[in-house]
Each structure stands twice: as structure tokens, then as C-alpha cells.
Amino acid sequence: MIVTLIVICEVAFWVLLVGGLALRYLAKMPRLGAGVLLCEPLLEVILLVVTAIDLKNGAEPDWKHGLAAVYIGFTVGLGHQTITWVDARFAHRFAGGPPPVRPPKYGTARMLHEWRTAARWITAAVVAIGLLQAAIWYVGGDGDVGSLRSWQEKMLFLIGINVIIAGSYTLFPKKAPVAEREPVRVKR
């Protein structure tokens, strides 16, 4: 049941996103579109409540409950950025908006971009770890919480990977090709 609800929440996320943006840009109803977009956090609340009820009713905590916590964490950490990313592309494609801003390619700007991206993923992982820990405490010593702890380990691994990627751009910044760095000088 939990996996089905996660799939339903994911599909509903995209339906609400496209519906909200269509109302905003195609139907020229920006307030109604914003209202539809603001309904998206309700999906995570529903998933959290159903997962808690499932555990309360005596379900053994397993990978599905962990997946629900991870899904909520990722929505918290990455949901806003995903909506912003899709909004910029939708506005450009359907409403004559400016082209979406591309991430910087080189130097300090790229390093900062990578650290901001890592911060979003780390936020997602930390929220997931917190929800998983709350589920572990909720279940108590009576249940087998190994699968929930396994999800926590995966989230710690995810944090490590993001720190390594962002750190690599700090230690080894990508430099612009010579042709882009220096203007061409013509001899007279």
C-alpha cells in the first residue's frame, strides 16, 4: 500500500505541477496556478500520515516505510528547485519568457553552484534521516528497524558523494578554455 501511495504522490506531484503552470501561463490565471502549486506539500503530509498510521497499526517497518521517508526528504530538499526549474522552461516555451539561465561552467561561480546543489541534496538526506529516526523511535525496541537503519546509511552515503563532488570543484576548479579567457589580439 505504501509503495502505491508513493507512486500516486509522484504522479500527483507532476500533475499538479503541469496543471499549476498551465493555469499560470496558458490560461493566464496566475493566482489559481499558484494555488494549485501550493497544494503540492499536502501530498507529502498525506504520505507521512498514512505511513505513520501503517506503523501504528502494527506493520513491520520495512524498505517501503524507509522509501516513504526518503521520498518526503527529497521533496523537501529538491521540490522547490524542481518546480523553479520546470517553471522557467515552461514560461520560456509557452509564455514567451526569457530563456532559462544555465548554470555557470567555470571557476568560482561553478564551485558555488555545485555547493548549492550539494546543499539541496544534503538537506533532502538530512530530512530523510530525521524522518527515519523518528520512525525508529516510534516503532521502539519491539520491531525490526534494520531496513530503516539501512536507508539512513544510504542517505549518509549520498551526503558523502555530494560533498566529494562539490569539494572536487573547490580543489580542482574547472577553467575556461584559453579561447574564452583571453580576447584575440590582432597585430597591426
**22, part of any domain:** yes
How sure is the predictor about 186, in pLDDT bands with cuts at 50, 70 and 90? low
pTM for this prediction: 0.85
Task: Please give the tally of structural domains in the chain.
Answer: 1
Q: Are 16 and 39 in contact (CB under 8 A)?
A: yes
Residue 188, pLDDT > 80, answer: no
Q: What is the largest CA-CA distance in the chain?
A: 85
Q: Which domain holds residue 102?
A: 2-174
Predicted confidence at residue 131, as pLDDT, reads: 93
* 87 confidence band (pLDDT: 50, 70, 90): very high
In this structure, of 79-83, 151-155, 182-186, the range with the lowest mean pLDDT score is 182-186
Within-domain flag for 188: no
Q: Tell me the C-alpha distance between 128 and 70, whole Å.
A: 5
Q: Give the whole-angstrom CA distance, residue 6 versus residue 13.
A: 10
181 part of a folded domain:
no
The mean pLDDT value for 64-69 works out to 91
Give the distance, in angstroms, between the CA of residue 157 and the centroid of all CA atoms in the same chain.
Answer: 16
Is a pLDDT exceeding 70 seen at residue 108?
yes
Q: How many whole angstroms separate alpha carbon 10 and alpha carbon 87?
A: 17
26 belongs to a structural domain: yes
Cell of 102: 544555465
